[in-house]
Amino acid sequence: MSSTNEAIRELAQQEYKWGFVTDIAEERIPKGLSEDVIRLISAKKNEPEFMLQWRLKAYRHFESLQKKDAEPKWANVKFPPIDYQDITYYSAPKQKPNLKDLSELDPEILRTYEKLGIPLEEQKMLAGVAVDAVFDSVSVGTTFKAKLAEAGVIFCSFSEAVREHPDLIQKYLGTVVPYTDNFYAALNAAVFSDGSFVYVPKGVRCPMELSTYFRINAAETGQFERTLIVADEGAYVSYLEGCTAPIRDTNQLHAAVVELIAMDDAQIKYSTVQNWYPGDKNGKGGIYNFVTKRGACRGKRSKISWTQVETGSSITWKYPSCILQGDSSVGEFYSVALTNNYQQADTGTKMIHIGKDTRSTIVSKGISAGHGQNTYRGQVKILKDAAGARNYTQCDSLLIGDLCGAHTFPYIEVKNATARMEHEASTSKIGEDQLFYLRQRGLKAEDAVSMVVNGFCKRVFKELPMEFAVEAQKLLSVSLEGSVG
């Protein structure tokens, strides 16, 4: 394990040095949203004309929505109105390292890094401390990129893809989440900063997890990320985004859009570990994570799986979904969402069955602690011609203490009589008797809570790439600190 970790760290540090994101000269830009700002963003990124036009259309649509006061308010979350003119829409260039060493870092953050078992070098990366090692130029970085190139896999930043692969972008962008889809999707389409682009050609099994690559870059993640992953016929790719380390950001609103497209016999596995700054113990500050994620199973026998572990953000509002167009296509959603202190979450999924013999599985585990409010919202829609459709849904809530809340809003719409649906739900509390049982066997109170919670989440953690399953468990334990006693 250690030599692989070493190699990956080296790679990540190299990328940090040269920039996975294109270098942009620093420039002051006033806050606020206007057509001029959109043009500026596009110009700064050297985007082709089609991209600018798409952004402008999206912006005009967003403006019209604002005029109609169409900002959605139906979610089970409360927050003060967002002033869209009080945001800087042009993302600042990559920060130069500005700390001499880790001792200058907020001790709270340092303590969390240590608890999560993040290696020292990575801690420095995340904190923006200058790294002084010298790397061999015949590096792992070259090998990594070479391996992907050999396989024909395109994996680059979204901005780079717009410039280098405009044909692919034009073909697929906005076909799963058009800018008209919803309020935040319109905003994202107008001002998106960056994200990832992945294209896996026919018959290719992507030779590695596109995951560890992002661990360090998570610190650079922008406010309005846009990601597009296309798996052509027979292709396979597993992608993981996120970082267990808590990332603070002065920008409160994060409205990302992720589009996945799977052709015949293709498979996309998309895992997320999200631990954005959740706000302080009194609910002040914290990031709003309003995300639109959708996968289109366009091809026959295609499969898209979403796995998420959401422990951060002050407010999480997202429904990674699957459109099961192709016959015999499969959609899966596995989720653990934790709300502690004053966090709020309204999350779930939509499975839309369109083709024949389609299958979907939903396993949602919500954990509420402190004053957290956790809502599962799921839609299973079986259209008229979706013969033989099958869905299995299990949504479980775990309550810790008696000041938190768990809510469930399942929407089930079945228009075909041959469909089969199973829905199970449970709500439970970590009882004093469960905790006492574990403590009586020698476990400390906090370890006892961890154990019960991990057992509760096991079904979801099983779906994560192994390295992240271990981190996710640790993350959950750290996030639950102070929730008992």
Partner 1 sequence: MNLLEIKNLHATVGGVEILKGINLTVEAGEVHSIMGPNGSGKSTLAQVLARRESYEITKGEIVYDGKDLVALKPEEAACEGVFLAFQYPVEIPGISNAYFLRSALNAVRKYRGQEEMDAIDFLPLLRQKLKLLEMDDKLLNRSVNEAFSGGEKKRNEILQMAVLEPKLAILDETDSGLDIDALRIVAQGVNAMRSPNRAILLVTHYQRLLNYIVPDRVHVLVDGKIARSGGAELALELEDKGYGTMEAAAGRA
Q: Nearest distance from residue 438's CB to partner 1, in Å? A: 7
Q: Nearest distance from residue 396's CB to partner 1, in Å? A: 9
DSSP string, 304-368: EEEEEEE---SEEEE--EEEE-STT-EEEEEEEEEE-TT-EEEEEEEEEE-SSS-EEEEEEEEEE
Closer CB to partner 1, residue 188 or residue 473?
Answer: 473
Q: Nearest distance from residue 407's CB to partner 1, in Å? A: 22
Closer CB to partner 1, residue 86 or residue 424?
Answer: 424
Q: Nearest distance from residue 431's CB to partner 1, in Å? A: 7
Which parts of this chain interact with partner 1 (CB under 8 A)? Answer: 431-434, 436-445, 447, 451-452, 454-459
- What distance in Å separates the CA atoms of residue 482 and residue 485, rounded to the nearest whole number? 7
DSSP class of residue 378? Answer: E
Closer CB to partner 1, residue 253 or residue 435?
Answer: 435
Closer CB to partner 1, residue 81 or residue 442?
Answer: 442
**Could you give the count of Cα atoms lying within 13 Å of 255 in the half-sphere of its Cβ?**
17
- What distance in Å separates the CA atoms of residue 330 and residue 361, rounded to the nearest whole number? 8
Closer CB to partner 1, residue 235 or residue 398?
Answer: 398
DSSP string, 230-282: EE-TT-EEEEEEE-SS-B--S--EE--EEEEEE-TT-EEEEEEEE-B----TT
- What distance in Å separates the CA atoms of residue 87 and residue 252, rounded to the nearest whole number? 9
Determine how many CB atoms are found less than 10 A away from the CB of residue 385.
12
Burial category of 94 from C-beta neighbours within 10 Å (exposed 0-12, middle 13-18, buried 19 and up): middle
Q: Nearest distance from residue 460's CB to partner 1, in Å? A: 10
CB-CB contact of 293 with 323 (8 Å): no
Closer CB to partner 1, residue 88 or residue 394?
Answer: 394
Q: Nearest distance from residue 24's CB to partner 1, in Å? A: 47
